[in-house]
Amino acid sequence: PDDNLTRAELTAMMVRVLGAQGDKADIAHLVDVAIDAWYADYIKSGVATKIITGAGDKMMPNDPVTREQAFTILARTFVLASDNHDTVHAFDDAHHVSDWAKDAAAALIEKNVVQGGSSNDLRPKDNVTRAEYAAMLDRLVGEYAKPGKSYAGEVIKGNIVITDPSVDLTGAIIEGDVIIADALGGKEVAIKDATVSGDLVVRAASVTVSGET
């Protein structure tokens, strides 16, 4: 858990969360991703779904990920943004956050996904560990909807990720975002008579909303 998270490992985690294994991009131009590498298919899916991007002909799969890079990938993946960068300045080392990462950092702080340590530091340039990233992801996604399950009348604390059209949210009370993941492709998802206090984030699907929401 205390090992640094690599770009390949992060990509694999996000592809699994979104059920995006079916999406594949042509990565023949990437000279540092061997065709038989354990992460090759995950990189193909990560590129196809824009989870991760390379630099020219390199992906640097075994390079560590900094905390601010992790902030940016999480915010991009779950379509999170903030117009108030002052949120970042609540931390003692806010001046170390790169300009390109401030919006993502602020958005995740507002969602209580990113938290400073005991020293009230964000440590944006530090490498993120496997445990730290797992904790951020766990705070961001409260529920992974189970295929075929009815959530009728249930109260869901936090965000819920939908990866299967058989999930029934009729009458559910969702105290967070509903994230329609890549696994659904172009399939239709119906959300009826549900109360959603957050956002409806549609990464891939045809969504029909009816009733009180």
pLDDT of 48-97, one tens digit each? Answer: 998 998 899 999 999 999 999 999 999 999 888 887 888 898 898 999 99
Confidence at residue 205, expressed as pLDDT on a 0 to 100 scale: 61
Mean pLDDT throughout 187-193? 83
Question: Which of 63 and 141 is assigned the larger pLDDT?
Answer: 63
- Is the pTM for the entire model greater than 0.85? yes
Residues 6+ apart with CB under 8 A from 83: none
Instruction: Locate all alpha helices (DSSP H) within 53-204, ordered by sequence.
Output: 67-77, 99-110, 130-140
Confidence at residue 213, expressed as pLDDT on a 0 to 100 scale: 55
The structure tokens listed for 164 are 């299967």
Q: How confident is the model at residue 207 (pLDDT cuts 50, 70, 90)?
A: confident
Answer whether residue 117 shows pLDDT above 70.
no
Instruction: Tell which residue, 118, 122, 66, has the closest CA to residue 91.
Output: 122
Mean pLDDT of the chain: 90
Mean pLDDT throughout 147-156? 91
Mean pLDDT throughout 101-116? 89
pLDDT tens by residue, 8-42: 999 999 999 999 998 899 999 999 999 999 999 99
Answer whether residue 204 shows pLDDT above 70.
yes
Q: How confident is the model at residue 212 (pLDDT cuts 50, 70, 90)?
A: low
Confidence at residue 206, expressed as pLDDT on a 0 to 100 scale: 66
Answer whether residue 203 shows pLDDT above 90.
no
Distances (CA, A) of 113 to 6, 157, 167, 211: 20, 14, 26, 31
Mean pLDDT throughout 117-138? 90
Q: For residues 61 and 41, is the Cβ–Cβ distance under 8 A?
A: no
Answer whether residue 194 shows pLDDT above 60.
yes
